[in-house]
């Protein structure tokens, strides 16, 4: 029985803790093990072969008001791709955005949302794009969260970096995260896009859940009309 991510068995996890902690720290030990997933319920599951792994779920928390967006994906369950799958342009972009929190301003024709989608597949991190004329601001997040300095956040809201072209989601979800629609509303922008690993690749979202639904329904009607020549 092993834990997902560490590959350690229950006994190895318990042993590693008590090797460096005296038994007097029993209460702390129980807390530590619980955080690692060693709970009575999970030990019973392991004993009777009910599961092979414990999948630790994490949810992005809004820590401060300069968070741009978050997605609903479970970070620990996202399988990262390979850097070798990136083309030359995408690898060069990744060199410029080597660490979470990095930002660059680049020529518009040098980067697309599909490029950022591929970077997310390779790194497991979200990317944001803002477009102002012939220049684009690209921000690399950490996991499923984008957070910038207060100064940059204020500049984004005031329009210094232009339109919010879109952002990526690790995993397959193309639904707005908890901060996506509120952020779009703060910008005063009616719509933007989410790119992910789902079959359709990307989808539009609006300022409110009902607006997102309305926009997507209208786009579906337009597509239906284009294909079949009649209103759905």
User: Using one digit for the tens of pLDDT, what is the confidence trace for 2-19?
Assistant: 444 555 555 555 555 444
Question: Residue 231 has what pLDDT?
Answer: 60
- Mean pLDDT for the stretch of residues 92-114: 95
* Predicted confidence (pLDDT) at residue 145 exceeds the cutoff of 60: yes
Q: Which two tokens stand for residue 179?
A: 């901060």
Mean pLDDT of the chain: 75
- pLDDT confidence of 197, banded at 50, 70, 90? confident
217 vs 167, higher pLDDT:
167
Q: What is the pLDDT of residues 39-87, one digit of tens each?
A: 555 544 444 444 333 333 222 333 334 666 555 543 433 445 678 889 9
CA separation, residue 102 to residues 6, 9, 21, 75, 190 (Å): 28, 36, 39, 20, 27
- Mean pLDDT for the stretch of residues 120-127: 94
Share of the chain above pLDDT 90, in %: 44
Bridge-partner residues for 124, per DSSP? Answer: none
4 vs 89, higher pLDDT:
89
Provide the sign of the torsion angle of the four alpha carbons 149, 155, 159, 162, taken in this order. Answer: negative
- pLDDT confidence of 229, banded at 50, 70, 90? confident
């Amino acid at each position: 029985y092993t834990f997902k991510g560490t590959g350690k068995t229950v006994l190895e996890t318990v042993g590693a803790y008590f090797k460096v902690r005296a038994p007097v720290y029993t209460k702390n030990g129980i807390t530590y093990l619980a955080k690692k997933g060693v709970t009575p319920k999970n030990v019973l599951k392991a004993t009777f072969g009910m599961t092979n792994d414990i999948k630790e779920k994490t949810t992005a928390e809004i820590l401060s008001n300069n968070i741009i967006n978050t997605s609903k994906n479970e970070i620990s369950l996202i399988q990262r791709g390979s850097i070798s799958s990136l083309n030359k342009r995408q690898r060069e972009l990744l060199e410029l955005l080597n660490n979470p929190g990095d930002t660059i301003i680049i020529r518009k024709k040098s980067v697309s949302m599909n490029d950022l989608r591929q970077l997310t597949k390779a790194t497991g991190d979200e990317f944001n794009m803002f477009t102002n004329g012939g220049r684009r601001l690209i921000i690399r997040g950490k996991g499923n969260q984008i957070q910038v300095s207060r100064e940059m956040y204020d500049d984004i809201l005031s329009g210094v970096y232009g339109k919010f072209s879109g952002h990526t989601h690790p995993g397959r979800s193309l639904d707005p995260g908890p901060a996506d629609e509120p952020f779009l509303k703060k910008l005063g922008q009616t719509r933007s896009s989410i790119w992910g690993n789902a079959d359709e690749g990307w989808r539009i979202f609006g300022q409110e859940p009902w607006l997102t639904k309305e926009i997507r329904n209208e786009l579906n009607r337009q597509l239906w009309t284009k294909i079949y020549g009649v209103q759905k």
